[in-house]
Amino acid sequence: MKRLWNFSAGPAVLPEAVLSQAAAEMLDWHGSGMSVMEMSHRGPQFMEILQSALEDFRELLNIPESHKVLFMQGGAIGQNAIVPLNLLKGFNSAAFVKSGSWSAKTIKEFARYGRADVVAEAREIKDDSGVRAANTYVPSIAPGSISPGSAYLHYCGNETIDGVEFKHIPDMHSLGAAHVPLVCDASSNILSRPMDVASHGLIYGGAQKNIGPAGLTFVIVREDQLDRALDVCPSAFNYRTVYDNHSMYNTPPTYAIYIAGLVFKWLKDMGGLPVVAELNRKKAQMLYEAIDGSALYVNRVRHADRSLMNVPFQLREEALNAEFLSLAQERGLTQLKGHKSVGGMRASIYNAMPIEGVEALVDFMLTFEKERA
Ligand SMILES: *Cc1c(COP(=O)(O)O)cnc(C)c1O
């Protein structure tokens, strides 16, 4: 068996220990005589799997009692519509931070439901060498710019495509909007470090970046946000309905929940999010140092806002892109091609990417530069 170092942005690498355990339990889960995939979602065995996944997720993120966890489907792009359907009752606008490609998509979808007020937007700016680049920093929100009538303020905690990450959450008090709920798309940095859940009204994301298989969507919602849905909100997507039915109003993505549960246990065994965060910091630092120290590679994101999960970089000699990718593949380093909107390369180094994988990448990059450039 040969496994590659997989730098995909999502669906992404999973911990090998989790995959091995899932393989061992595939045909007969804990003496049940069946695979988790074949179980009734209402049977005692799956209920136990769901319950412990929920509890471990809460424990890892230190989620306060005031906040409920829902497991849904439809991904973060689904939530771009599901959030307004659930939070717009009595409102006609919401505020947004436009920090990159994913938040831009969220804003576009929202416009079908209400008026999107963009209260901060990353501009295209020139870097040190005069190259213009878009989405290279977290734009700041001017105090007083959030309309008091906003249903919520939305931001994308980590722009997966652009490699821009919020290191501090918007402080709604100092922005003069303490009563406006804060909503976060945390698809690609959830569980990468401890998070201030209590300050949010809602946090959501797809599982396939840093949690588990595609198909599962997590929603962390403060209790007072459960009853703000528009009448047209589909029942299967109504937070109150999903909550009252313990994430079982419709059949949940059972196998994805099972794998997510194994990942949560794996994170707990590592020592929880403070330990995970330290490891992630080390991995990212190693990669950014290699980029910054090189004459061939460049990352144009403002240092303080650089993502610890997704590291885009360009080759200053773009003609070398194809060769870089094919030699990387030969070395067992895969999925390094950048998103088409940004070009160049992108290395996603989620929780499940071992430090050895990052070392192998850095080693390859240095060798490639020495030999080709
Ligand atoms: C991947 C991603 C999405 C899209 O997720 P889907 O599961 O495809 O809907 C949205 N937002 C962010 C930040 C992402 O990383």
Distance CA 40, CA 226 (A): 27
Q: Which amino acid is at 287?
A: L
Contacts of 251 (CB under 8 A, 6+ apart): 41
Give which of 302, 297, 305, 275 is closest to 347, Cα–Cα: 297
Residue with tokens 């020592």: 271
Query: In this structure, which residue's CA is closest to atom 5 in ligand 1?
Result: 76
pLDDT score of 373: 63
Question: Residues lining ligand 1, judged by CB closer than 6 Å?
Answer: 10, 75-78, 102, 156, 160, 185, 187-188, 206, 209
Find residue 182's DSSP bridge partners: 153
Task: Give the pLDDT confidence of 312-328 residue by residue, as tens digits.
Answer: 999 999 999 999 999 99
pLDDT, mean of residues 75-80: 98
Q: Is the pLDDT of residue 128 over 80?
A: no
pLDDT at 217 > cutoff 70: yes
Give the model's pLDDT for residue 127.
81
Note the pLDDT tens digit of each residue in 297-355.
999 999 999 999 999 999 999 999 999 999 999 999 999 999 998 899 999 999 999 99
CATH class of 22-269: alpha beta
CB neighbours of 211 closer than 8 A, spacing ≥ 6?
Answer: 190, 191, 218, 260, 263
Burial of 30 (0-12, 13-18, 19+ CB in 10 A): exposed
Q: Is the pLDDT of residue 223 over 80?
A: yes
Distance 102 CA to ligand 1 centre (A): 7
Give the side-chain half-sphere CA count within 13 A for 359. Answer: 4
Query: Catalytic positions, please?
Result: 102, 185, 209
Q: What is the pLDDT of residues 26-64, one digit of tens each?
A: 999 999 999 999 999 999 999 999 999 999 999 999 999
Q: How far apart are CA 85 and CA 316, in angstroms?
A: 44
The mean pLDDT value of the chain amounts to: 97
**Contact assessment for residue 86 and residue 114, using Cβ atoms and an 8 Å cutoff:** no
User: What CATH number labels 272-370?
Assistant: 3.90.1150.10
Looking at residue 129, what is its pLDDT? 79
How many degrees, rounded to 5, is the angle at CA 246 between CA 245 and CA 248? 70
In the chain, which segments carry CATH 3.90.1150.10?
Answer: 272-370
pLDDT of residue 118: 98
Instruction: Calculate how far, in angstroms, residue 203's C-alpha sits from the geometric centre of ligand 1.
Output: 13
User: Measuring CA to CA, which residue among 261, 256, 258, 246 is closest to residue 32?
Assistant: 258
Residue range(s) occupied by CATH 3.40.640.10 in the chain: 22-269
Q: Are strands 345-348 and 333-334 parallel, antiparallel or unpaired?
A: unpaired
Instruction: Give the closest residue (by CA) to ligand 1 atom 14.
Output: 187
